[in-house]
Amino acid sequence: MKRTRITLTAIVALIVSLAACKQVSAQNMATNSGIPGAKLPDSSKFTGKVDGKDTHLYYLANKNGMRAAITNFGGRIVSLLVKDKNDSLKDVVLGYDDIKSYQKRGEPFFGAIIGRYGNRIAKGKFTLDGNNYQLDINDGVNTLHGGFKGFGFRVWDAKQIDGHTLELMYTSADGEGGYPGELHAKVTYTLKNDNSLSIDYSATTTKPTVVNLTNHSYFNLNGAGSATILNDSLKVNADNITPVENTLIPTGALQPVKGTPFDFLRFKAVGQNINDSDPQLKNGKGYDHNFVLNKHTLAKPVAIVKSPVTGIVMDVYTAEPGLQFYTGNFLTGYTKDGKGGVAYPRRSAICLETQHFPDSPNEPSFPSTRLNPGQTYHSVTVYKFSVIK
């Protein structure tokens, strides 16, 4: 009998070849949709190195023509293409055309994974088991979104599972940004055939710590680059908000939304009350507040946004207790550096960030964000799209 010898080199070459074919197949499915409208960014402009680690752009697609582009720099959703009422693709998230733009000073966290702690912590301080921790101060007198170099500015290890799933992993060192414990984080993006983008977060730690992960996509259902989202309709299942003082730290109280500009229990235009004379709107320069979600599960949406222009509808699902509603009050539109050379002016997008409450480590009455060794943090966010024709 004649025997065939297979060398280790040949096996490795075969594995590499199969992986390359898998990546090319995913890219082809994402880019060659044959549907008119917006296109995905050029992946070559995201190939580079940051802090000595390789960066790339990954494409996801479903059978209905929905497309996504995600970079492992900060786990950022760069583009999300959704069909409108005319069956044309609209890019519904703000972002940039190249990796360098995401590294510029003052970059507003477009599409980023936020961690270790999404939102603000007062004066960058908290105490855990009698130990005092000082975090980066990067937002006036407070810590915002993990500090100067939170998860949105780190290069994640990426693995494309198939044409609709991307797995990202990052290990945050003990003491990084001032946070205790080595944190092992994993985020999985899945673009499903029901036209939903699922974001699955998990993390473990080597020491007691605090964790609050979210995604900071800026949505414009009229299409990224459209001038305003103030005519979009919004509904949020929340009877209360956590009111804030003038540095946007919660006071610790809950404030009913009924009879205030924050009442979105029924659909109303985002801009209907945004310029009302209200101390909370003044503090946030518009909406930039945590909504305390009413009792809910992942089975029903906690928020719904509708565009009267494109007919696109986005449902938001989560089991988290809070939702940060932000109307892009700090966007300026000074430079035309958005995708396709467009400007992103003030209030040209909304963020709906699923979360535990801001400053929870310093507010015992808020749901706890503590994570202990041996426990696993887990959270799921789903953005599901449909269209009204």
Q: So which residues are the catalytic ones?
A: 216, 353
Pseudo-torsion of CA 292, 298, 301, 305, nearest 10°? 90
- In angstroms, the Cα distances linking 163 to 77, 133, 166, 215, 369 are 16, 42, 8, 21, 34
Measured CA to CA, the distance from residue 383 to residue 389 in angstroms comes to 20
CA distances from 118 to 71, 157, 216 (A): 19, 21, 9
In one letter, which amino acid is 257?
V
44 Rama class: left (phi>0) / alpha (psi -120 to 50) / beta? alpha
- Burial code (b: 16+ CB inside 10 Å, e: under 16) for 164-187 equals bbbbbbbebeeebbbbbbbbebbb
Q: Are 379 and 213 in contact (CB under 8 A)?
A: yes
Roughly how many angstroms between the first and final C-alpha of the chain, as a whole number?
A: 68
**Strands 303-306 and 233-236, how do they pair?**
antiparallel
Rounded CA separation 374/368 (Å):
17
d(CA 358, CA 325): 12
The tokens describing 75, both together, are 């786990």
Cis bond upstream, residue 116 (ω within 30): yes
Rounded-to-integer distance, Cα 165 and Cα 322, Å = 26
Cα-flanking dihedrals φ and ψ of residue 11, to 5°? -65, -45
Q: Using CA atoms, how far apart are residues 52 and 85, in angstroms rounded to an integer? A: 44
Helical segments of the chain, H only: 8-31, 279-284
Contacts for 282-287: CB closer than 8 Å, 24+ residues apart: 283/244, 283/245, 283/246, 283/248, 284/244, 284/248, 284/329, 285/329, 285/330, 286/327, 286/329, 286/347, 287/262, 287/325, 287/326, 287/327, 287/329
